[in-house]
């Protein structure tokens, strides 16, 4: 029988063991990493889910990170922190960052934290949502490997550079905008490559600058870095007429808030000797602006007005950012987390490599 669903807790525990047995992650890092990965799959974002084990294993083999390293605070004020990840997995650096950021925000109202010398931290929403769960506004940004082409350029110099902002509304789900500044996250191109190799026009261009639907080749350009040319387009595409300069500007803004403020590695130099990824986190108490209950109720009323407005012909409803993921997660907790056949095959491959039993549905 084809395997499709697996229980949330079973998958989370299995991935924690895989990260410890195969990659040498300390228990605490393995636990937070496994939860972040399973949360992505549970919400329908396979691009940031358990299939990432391949990427993390390759980083380890290539000597790009040190699973046993300890991130450390190198500078701080009452409302800011600078953390050096010391080449540890991004989950370890981000766990320290969010814990310290929320603690300072709870005491002083807000805190902004930058991290340098880190690695991939999973789904940005996993981190920003933690502040919203505590009644605060949360922000999580990161630069990435080289993936995006500046408007009117040819060379990949920036990343997919996602932005996530979570705002509590007094009830679940929070408003949570979690988006790549490129048309899609690189992981979605990798998923398309695993599932058949075809992607929509407008996601990426080849080395000559022409549109391509070849997801396999687009993924190879980014991961293998055979050429500095070709890669992903920013929101709005390759021209100004549809706002390509805006998507490119958002990607560059994330670059400056992460690598710039942290004195860290710019995207065009990441994955050279180490991952070198940089992050930005922020948590802010709502009472800086007024009564938190009134603010949440007002936020909820704005969202309700938009949600209840007439849907376009052929559409059943209007979604608020974070709703689809919230509903998918609830279904996953009830029925099991869906993993596509390619992901099951990948987990089987690494179970064999690491001497583990295969995961059962």
Asked if 94 and 115 count as a contact pair (C-beta separation under 8 A), the reply is yes
* Strand residues in 54-153 grouped as ranges (E): 72-77, 80-84, 110-118, 136-142
**Beta 80-84 vs 110-118: how paired, if at all?**
parallel
Chain-centroid distance of CA 303 in Å reads: 24
The class that CATH gives domain 5-288 is: alpha beta
Exposure pattern of 255-264 as b/e (b: 16+ CB <10 Å)?
A: bebbbbbbeb
pLDDT tens for residues 5-60?
999 999 999 999 999 999 999 999 999 999 999 999 999 999 899 999 999 999 99
Bridge partners, residue 75, by sequence: 82
Could you count the other beta carbons within 10 Å of the beta carbon of residue 128?
29
Q: According to the 3-state scheme, what is the secondary structure of 55-80? A: HHHHHHHCCCCCCCCCCEEEEEECCE
Each domain of the chain, given as residue ranges in start order, spans 5-288
Rounded mean pLDDT, 327-352:
96
Reduced to 3 states (helix: H, G, I; strand: E, B; else coil), residue 114 is strand
Of the given ranges (113-122, 127-136, 195-204, 248-257), which has the lowest mean pLDDT? 195-204
* SS3 category, 298: helix
pTM assigned to the model: 0.94
Instruction: pLDDT band for 211, please (50, 70, 90 cuts).
Output: confident
Mean pLDDT, the chain, as a whole number? 94
């Amino acid at each position: 029988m084809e395997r499709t669903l697996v229980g949330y807790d079973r998958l989370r525990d299995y991935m924690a063991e895989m990260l410890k047995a195969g990659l040498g992650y300390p228990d605490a890092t393995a636990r937070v990493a496994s939860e972040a990965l399973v949360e992505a799959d549970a919400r329908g974002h396979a691009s940031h889910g358990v299939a990432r084990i391949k990427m993390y294993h390759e980083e380890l083999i290539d000597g790009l990170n040190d699973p046993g390293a300890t991130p450390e605070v190198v500078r701080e004020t009452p409302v800011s922190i600078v953390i050096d990840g010391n080449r540890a997995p991004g989950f370890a650096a981000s766990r320290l960052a969010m814990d310290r950021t929320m603690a300072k925000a709870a005491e002083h109202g807000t805190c902004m934290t930058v991290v340098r010398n880190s690695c991939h931290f999973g789904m940005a929403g996993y981190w920003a949502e933690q502040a919203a769960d505590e009644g605060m506004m949360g922000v999580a940004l990161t630069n990435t490997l080289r993936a995006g082409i500046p408007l009117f350029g040819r060379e990949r110099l920036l990343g997919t550079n996602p932005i996530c902002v979570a705002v509590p509304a007094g009830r679940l789900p929070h408003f949570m905008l979690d988006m790549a500044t490129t048309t899609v996250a690189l992981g979605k191109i990798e998923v398309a490559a695993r599932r058949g190799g075809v992607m929509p026009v407008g996601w990426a261009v080849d080395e000559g600058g022409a549109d391509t639907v070849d997801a396999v080749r687009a993924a190879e350009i980014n991961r293998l870095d055979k050429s500095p040319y070709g890669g992903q387009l920013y929101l709005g595409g390759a021209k100004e007429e549809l706002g390509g300069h805006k998507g490119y500007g958002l990607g560059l803004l994330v670059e400056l808030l992460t690598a710039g403020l942290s004195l860290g590695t710019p995207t065009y130099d990441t994955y050279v000797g180490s991952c070198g990824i940089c992050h930005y986190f922020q948590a802010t108490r709502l009472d800086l602006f007024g009564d938190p209950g009134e603010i949440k109720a007002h936020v909820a009323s704005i969202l309700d007005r938009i949600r209840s407005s007439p849907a376009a012909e052929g559409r059943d409803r209007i979604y608020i950012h974070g709703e689809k993921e919230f509903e998918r997660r609830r279904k996953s907790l009830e029925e099991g987390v869906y993993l596509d056949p390619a992901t099951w095959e990948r987990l089987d491959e690494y179970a064999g490599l690491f001497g583990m039993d295969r995961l059962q549905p």
